[in-house]
Amino acid sequence: MYAQMIKSTGEGVKSRDEMSPEEAAFQEKVDADIKIEPRDWMPEGYRKTLIRQIGQHAHSEIVGQLPEGNWITRAPTLERKMILLAKVQDEAGHGLYLYSAAETLGVTRDELTEALLTGKMKYSSIFNYPTLNWADIGAVGWLVDGAAIMNQVPLQRTSYGPYSRAMIRICKEESFHQRQGYDIMMKMAQGTPEQKKMAQDALNRYWYPSLMMFGPSDAESVHSAQSMAWKIKVNTNDELRQKFVDQTVPQAEYLGLTVPDENLKWNEEKGGHDFSEPDWTEFFDVLKGNGPCNTDRLNARVKAWEDGEWVRDGLLAHAEKKAARKVAAE
Amino acid sequence: MAEVDKTQLAQFLLRMGDNTLILGHRVSEWCGHSPVLEEDIALANTALDLLGQTSLWLGYAAEVRGTGETADDVAFLRDAWDFRNLLLVELPNGDFGRTMMRQFLFDAFHSVLLGRLLQSSDQTVREIAEKASKEVAYHVERSADTVVGLGDGTEESHARMQAALDYLWPYVGEMFASDETDRALAAAGVAPDPANLRDDFDALIGKVLAEATLHIPDSDFAHKGGRTGAMHTEHLGHILCQMQWLQRVYPNANW
Ligand SMILES: [Fe+2]
Ligand SMILES: [Fe+2]
């Protein structure tokens, strides 16, 4: 997902007897679907896990600007260019809401940025894959935003108030993105032979990385169990991946494109598709920094931050001068 | 009022639409790379407004040319010599300071021009100007604020903004260099003679640059050739290489 492999306390879920009175009261609120707000008491593990999760989600939105931004100057029509630019701008906005939500937990945006740039915090593996032809812009909207929605729709009900509210705003825009992406795919799939080739090529390259977005199976994970008890994770990775495949396969068929999986078939008994697992070795390589674009993506963010330092300093210095002049005038 | 010649009207519309197209392209290059998230969002907004205006100006240009083209054909299928934008807007972004200084100089000119176009004798021009002038009023407010903030910021930001102004200043004069087309359009009441916009422009930028503690170079030398198409910079060809690539390699595809 946009947040992958998030570690919680690692100690597993406490039973009621092991909980302090504060912890028990907190868990009762969560169980009763009462939102936790920034000023409320919360376990330290809950706060830290949320910072990791929201922070990683925010970083994914920001780094996620890069693969699609790669095509803004080459978009084939004025309308496509505007739609893409507006989409990438939305992603920056998502980053902004999420950093603000994380700030309510006592961490600053600058601290989170620092952690991203030094590699201490991660962003979603998907954004380490390149966008190589125009249909990739369609595939990213259709598959990547599509996978993001799978995870984020349930998170609208997450226990932490600011996170839940950010998700509600974000989900509306993500479903636009997905429709716009599918619309590009439709045009390409119905277009010239070259366009159709681009569409198939994009699906071939983005299929498995999209499945990886949900993370490896976590049914046995103590981290996931704790996160689910806290309602900052709602479904298991496998549940979401299955849902995604079941939703996407008919869409690919409608486009006349072939999902690159020989084992893909409808399983009547389970009421879902059987499909091949992605290559998890590749996934862990990407997380370690060895994806096709990790170095470029991080360098681009570091460069933007370093090149922008004089701007941030300049604007701050001016704001201070202005405030001082105002005080002097009073 | 004099009847306006279609070729001259089309020339004017291309000047308007090519300015917004090429500047929109340049500004959009920042997407994902700005110094702060808020600036990234604001620059994308500016680029989006400019591209929206482009569709209107070039759409009307296509209509006036009467060749059955669309705004996309006009944007994506002309070569550099047919572009009529100011040289200023095709210059590379440079650092953030130069981008914002270029934006401010263009916004100042654009806002004064659009203000006059609200009185155009051509209804479509008037309608486009009405929409665009609202957007550009916001652009100029924003770019002026940034120029003031960085000009009157740290020693480094001041020096960078002064360097940006010095670099860009020779490209300002072209905005006001009018020709026969301008005079014909002015006579027909379609558009003002750009030469008559200079005083308002100078007043606007004089105030902002003073507040920014920046010094306007005392040279009135002006590079020219963009708005007439006589001689663009080397940069325009590279912009078109990116912008028009898909349309050129896969002609007649539907995107
Ligand atoms: Fe997003
Ligand atoms: Fe999105």
Query: Ligand 1 center to residue A103 CA distance, Å?
Result: 18
A80 touches chain B (CB under 8 A): yes
pLDDT above 70: percentage of residues in chain A: 100
Report the mean per-residue pLDDT for chain B: 97
Binning pLDDT at 50, 70 and 90, where does residue A14 land? Answer: confident
Nearest partner of B75 among B254, B250, B242, B253, judged by Cα: B242
Is pLDDT larger for residue A4 or for residue B92?
B92
Q: Nearest by CB to A304, which of B33, B41, B250?
A: B33
CATH 1.10.3720.10 assigned to B6-249: no
Q: Looking at the domain assignment, is residue A66 inside a domain?
A: yes
- A 10 A CB-CB count for B151 gives 28
Binning pLDDT at 50, 70 and 90, where does residue B2 land? Answer: low
Range in B3-12, B121-130, B135-144 the model is least confident about: B3-12
Rounded to whole angstroms, how far apart are CA atoms B186 and B189? 5
Rounded to whole angstroms, how far apart are CA atoms B246 and B236? 17
Query: Ligand 2 center to residue A178 CA distance, Å?
Result: 7
Q: Is the ipTM of this complex over 0.90?
A: yes
Binning pLDDT at 50, 70 and 90, where does residue A260 land? Answer: very high
Q: Looking at the domain assignment, is residue A9 inside a domain?
A: no
Q: Looking at the domain assignment, is residue A12 inside a domain?
A: no
State the CATH number of the domain containing residue A118: 1.20.1260.10
Provide the pLDDT for residue A204.
98
Provide the pLDDT for residue A3.
82
Does pLDDT of A143 surpass 70?
yes
Instruction: Sketch the domain layout of chain B as residue ranges.
Output: 6-249
Give φ, ψ of A272 to 5 degrees. Answer: -155, 175
Provide the pLDDT for residue A117.
97
Query: Ligand 2 center to residue B23 CA distance, Å?
Result: 26
Q: Looking at the domain assignment, is residue A105 inside a domain?
A: yes
Cβ separation B254–A308 shorter than 8 A: no
Q: Radius of gyration of chain A from Cα atoms?
A: 21
Q: Nearest by CB to A89, which of B41, B75, B160?
A: B41
For chain A, how many structural domains are there in total? 1
The residue written with tokens 């960085």 in the block is: B150
The whole domain housing A221 covers 18-328
List b or e across B60-79, with b for residues whose CB sees 16 or more CB atoms inside 10 angstroms.
Answer: bbbbbbeeebbbbebbbebe
Q: Looking at the domain assignment, is residue A47 inside a domain?
A: yes
Q: Looking at the domain assignment, is residue A6 inside a domain?
A: no
Pairing of strands A265-267, A272-274: antiparallel
Does pLDDT of A7 surpass 90?
no
Q: Nearest by CB to B255, which of A89, A187, A307?
A: A187
Closest ligand relative to A95 C-alpha: 1
Q: Looking at the domain assignment, is residue A315 inside a domain?
A: yes
pTM of the model: 0.96
Binning pLDDT at 50, 70 and 90, where does residue A218 land? Answer: confident
Binning pLDDT at 50, 70 and 90, where does residue A1 land? Answer: low
Q: Looking at the domain assignment, is residue A10 inside a domain?
A: no
